[in-house]
Structure 1
């Protein structure tokens, strides 16, 4: 499984000021790493860099020592990003959103059917499998995006605020599923502003004022 390392990274957008400076962190197989901080602290920026979607201004992002060259390269190395904005196709059903992603990353149609059913069931969405995304509530859409990410069986799983619209029972369900991803050997990074969710993770990296600290190594 993959070890994802960010080393001395400065991160920002365009010609704007750096959002984060001198960030060094390693996400290890078998653990859930919480990335915490207030809104605007840089949690999504860091996960985008870890996913290969944002190039570093300096420093490196590597998976098992291989520097990421972009999002497609990261996908080929088993890096799954579950984005904050869900990124679901509104014209597809919940099941189609999951199965299309599995097939796009090399899964067979049979794999797609099986993994789609398993992941939707794990998130309590079997009854919504054939509903269009626009017919789902915000929380159901968030769980569908998570089901899609989990169905990809990544070596590195990056989950960005994936419990923000969920009630307590579903939040615990998601935390259990992220823990299960780590148990099968994935490196899991969970960006959250929820202190209770962060406390359930193995380690915590806190972002504030453009820098990172370790309140709970």
Structure 2
């Protein structure tokens, strides 16, 4: 079981003022933790620190009790990030984007084919498997990114605003899939500005004015 812990962490970019100050939070296996706040409150910044993309200025970020390290180290420890901008290669198909990611993290080609098919079916994109990403709608691209994240079978799944372009039915489906990830023992963190999505999570950490406070614990 893999928890993610931030202890008295300050986060910022360059030499500017910190975006977040003195954040202490533990994301636990088997739960979905919501990170909420308005645009610019620091939700992506916080997920970036949990993903190994942003080193803290002060404090510590640990995974399963050990220092997280950089993004490569985090990937090696099963930390999956589903980014807000989807991070998909436009010149590859939906299926290729997923298969490449599975193989890059140690899966065999056969395993990649199976996991890709399962993940695309789970988000309702089986029929778009062989379409280029640039041919898909914004909502379909978002679901393809979610499928890639699911196919990686992460110990930690960090989902950044992954329901922002989805209709109600697909949003509900994605939230159910994230819950299923937690049910299998993963640590799931969902950054969202959607109060209905946050309400379906186990706990809610709210970001405002550079501080993190518990809205629901």
- The bucket for the TM-score relative to the shorter chain is over 0.9
Q: Which residue is 1:77 aligned to? A: 77
Residue in 2 that maps onto 1:46: 46
Paired with 1:122 and 1:78, the residues of 2 have a C-alpha distance of 21
The offset of 1:202, in angstroms, is: 0.3
Structure-1 separation of matches of 2:119 and 2:80: 15
Give 5+ residue unaligned stretches, structure 2. none
CA distance in 2, matches of 1:3, 1:115: 24
Within 5 Å, give how 1:1-217 maps onto structure 2.
1-217=1-217
Runs of 4 or more consecutive aligned structure 1 residues displaced over 2 Å after TM superposition: none
TM-score, structure 2 length as denominator? 0.99
Q: Residue 130 of structure 1 aligns to a residue in which SS? A: coil
- Listed one character per residue, the Cα deviations across residues 18-37 of structure 1 (whole Å, up to 9, x for unaligned) are 00000011110000000000
Structure 1 position 52, deviation (Å): 0.3
DSSP-derived class of the 2:69 partner: coil
Q: Alpha-carbon deviation of 1:68?
A: 1.4
Aligned length: 217
Measure, in 2, the Cα distance between the counterparts of 1:124 and 1:110.
21
Give the TM-score, by structure 1 length. Answer: 0.99
